[in-house]
Amino acid sequence: MRWWGWGEDGHEVAMPEPAAAILRDELGTDESMRRRPVALEEVRLPEPRLSAAARERLAGAVGADHVRDDRGIRVAHAAGRSYPDLVRLRSGDGSSAPDAVVLPGSAEDVAAVLAACAEQRVAVVPFGGGTSVVGGVEPVSDGFGGAVSIDLHRLDRVVSIDNMSLTATLEAGLSGPQIESALAAEGLTLGHFPQSFEYSTVGGWVATRSAGQASTGYGRIDELVEGLWFVAPAGEVGARPLPASAAGPDLRELLVGSEGVLGVICDVTVRVRRAPDARRYEGWWFRSFAEGCEAFRVMEQADASPDVARVSDEEESRFSLAFASANSVVERLGRAYLRARGRESGCVAIVGFEGDADDVERRRVRTGALLRAGGGVALGRRPGDLWLRNRYAAPYLRDELLDRGLLVDTLETAATWSGLDGVYRAAIDALRSTLADRGTPPLVMCHVSHLYRSGASLYFTFLARQEDDALAQWRAAKQAASDGIVAAGGTITHHHAVGRDHARWMRAEVGEMGLELIRAAKERLDPAGIMNPGKLLPSE
């Protein structure tokens, strides 16, 4: 992965003129704002602070070859991939880099690293794909004798696959493509496709309670975890792979979502499915976001949801259409639809079905009837196929937008159906008024992308002209939107996790006694407090 952005070189996303026109005309960007990241050699890194004793203990734990502190690896582990992370990295700020990166090869190695760090009071950041967008992997070392990232990529074995029970035990460092490739060889799939799929790891998914683009159908990662093996400084916890149990509190759910502050997920047993024979993705249009949401609610509550279900609001539909003009068919379809109805706007939805061919067809017909009854108009397969082809493209596009001097970030939440509109309006209003007041009126877009019988998620994207103090501008927008979401009854995060950026809203989320319960678990598992400091829990 490029140290200052997303992915590898050669995946640059072209900006079609209609989209560039929106940025220029509505946000006020111009070519003079173009900027590029500094060179790697120019990144300012602090001197490594690990004591000789600490380095020696770490080398003893994993071998000297697996304790690294060269410039490239330190910068690559200095931050996740959030907007503020990239703003800082592109400007050459590597102040948060770890003092070293440790690469264990087994759960035993992980235990040895944690023992060494607890003894030497070195902070530890578990690091999978490093794709956190909430500051989850940025080392925080105040009060410690340094910080190390424990990079889990060497934990990359497929431990076992149970074809009869449809489960697979995977080491934590396996990435999305590695997992799907190993499962495909057995005719299986996990079906977990977050936007970070190409780089993120199963350990990271479980640590952050991830949802994927197809989680409406395949289930969130927390629903897919059957068991796990967890190594903490104070010892090990195993949640045995079981389909269900009534044996007390579900401790698995205390470790899922623990974001590295309790320990390190070393392997996970996940529930898998037979790989689909058929895939069918379609576009639909609705007259308004409200109409689309209501149709989706009826569909979900009739147990008729597709595997992928997303509906964009008017602004996101307009921007998507401007983008899709590169693909003239979709643009023509959209414009034709609008013209035929004498209207200028509408909302695009994507529904996707995966399974055996008969099953896909049966579900598609039933779902289609409900969407049509809810006011939807079918646009056929082309918009669906286009979405599928570009499903991981947004983070690449973000690099292009950063190059153009834009603030670009996303926020996500979930709420009950009856609360959804209130949360939607609260976030939109907060972003618009905060950024307009600063003289940088934004473009704010939203879609619903995960359906539950009782509610849905909302995913916001906002763009604005970048101020000189880009981080202050971002912090103001983030704070206002998060306050608005929480006050309106939404969760502070539906799938990005808490990390550093959402920690201050955790008190509102789980209450004081809820925080106490997490702290009680932390004190028991991590008595020295070395695990991922500054994340998940608000400062006391």
3-state SS, 91-132, equals CCECCCCCCEEECCCCHHHHHHHHHHHHHHCCEEEEECCCCC
Task: Spell out the alpha helix ranges (H) of 142-190.
Answer: 176-184
Q: Which is nearer to a copy of itself, 98 or 499 (CB)?
A: 499
The amino acid at residue 158 is V
Residue pair 206/221 in contact by the 8 Å Cβ criterion: yes
Closest separation in Å from C-beta 455 to a copy of itself: 3
Q: How far is the CB of 74 from a copy of itself (least distance, A)?
A: 28
Residue (of 16, 11, 9) closest to 330 by Cα position: 16
Helix (H, G, I), strand (E, B) or coil at 501: coil
Which residues share a beta bridge with 459? 412, 447
The residue among 29 and 167 lying less far from a copy of itself, judged by its C-beta, is 167
Which is closer to a copy of itself, CB of 301 or CB of 433? 301
In 11-113 the beta strands, taken as DSSP E runs, fall at 67-68, 100-102
How far apart, in whole angstroms, are the C-alpha atoms of residue 42 and residue 58? 29
- CA atoms of 530 and 527, how far apart (whole Å): 8
User: To the nearest whole angstrom, how small is the minimum distance from the Cβ of residue 501 to a copy of itself?
Assistant: 12
Nearest partner of 210 among 142, 159, 134, judged by Cα: 134
Partnered with residue 127 across adjacent β-strands are: 151
**Looking at beta carbons only, is 76 or 190 nearer to a copy of itself?**
190
Phi and psi angles of residue 522, each rounded to the nearest 5 degrees, phi first: -65, -45
Q: With respect to a copy of itself, which residue has the nearer C-beta, 146 or 352?
A: 352
Selection from 25, 33, 134, 96 nearest residue 402 by Cα: 33
Minimum distance of a copy of itself from residue 156's CB (angstroms):
23
Minimal distance, residue 493 CB to a copy of itself, in Å: 5
Q: How far is CA 347 from CA 189, 242, 289, 367, in A?
A: 31, 42, 6, 18
Closer to a copy of itself by CB, 136 or 383: give it.
136
Q: Which is nearer to a copy of itself, 122 or 224 (by Cβ)?
A: 224
Tokens of 489: 């009854």
Quote the least distance from Cβ 331 to a copy of itself, whole Å: 34
Whole-number minimum distance, CB 43 to a copy of itself, in Å? 31
Closer to a copy of itself at the Cβ: 234 or 338? 234
Q: How far is the CB of 475 from a copy of itself (least distance, A)?
A: 20
Q: Is the backbone of residue 236 left (phi > 0), alpha (psi -120 to 50) or beta?
A: beta
Eight-class DSSP state of 201: B
Q: Nearer Cβ to a copy of itself, position 98 or 257?
A: 257
> Which residues does 305 contact at the CB level (< 8 Å), separation at least 6?
216, 217, 296, 299, 367, 451
Contact 117, 64 (CB under 8 A): no
CB of 229 to a copy of itself, least distance (A): 10
Cβ closest to a copy of itself, residue 53 vs residue 520: 520
Q: Which helix (H) or strand (E) holds 522?
A: helix 506-525
Which is nearer to a copy of itself, 414 or 435 (by Cβ)?
414
Task: Write down the least CB distance from residue 538 to a copy of itself, Å.
Answer: 11
CA dist., res. 40 & res. 42, Å (int): 5
Give yes or no for a contact between 514 and 242, defined as CB atoms under 8 angstroms apart: no
Backbone angles phi, psi at 26, to 5 degrees: -100, -30
CB of 362 to a copy of itself, least distance (A): 8
Q: Report the nearest approach of a copy of itself to the CB of residue 364 (Å).
A: 14
Quick one: tokens of 209?
């309670």
Specify the 3-state DSSP secondary structure of 253.
helix
Task: Collapse the DSSP code of 306 into the 3-class scheme (helix H, G, I; strand E, B; otherwise coil) and give the result.
Answer: coil
The minimum distance between CB 123 and a copy of itself, in angstroms, equals 19
**CB of 62 or CB of 485, closer to a copy of itself:** 485
- The nearer residue to a copy of itself, 220 or 432, going by C-beta atoms, is 220
Whole-number Å distance between alpha carbons of 334 and 348:
9
Q: Provide the minimum distance between the beta carbon of 531 and a copy of itself in the complex, in angstroms, as a whole number.
A: 13
In the 8-state DSSP scheme, what is residue 24? I
| Ramachandran quadrant class, 191 (left: phi over 0; alpha: psi -120 to 50; beta: rest) | left
- Between 211 and 406, whose beta carbon lies closer to a copy of itself? 211
Distance between CA 215 and CA 202 in Å, rounded?
15
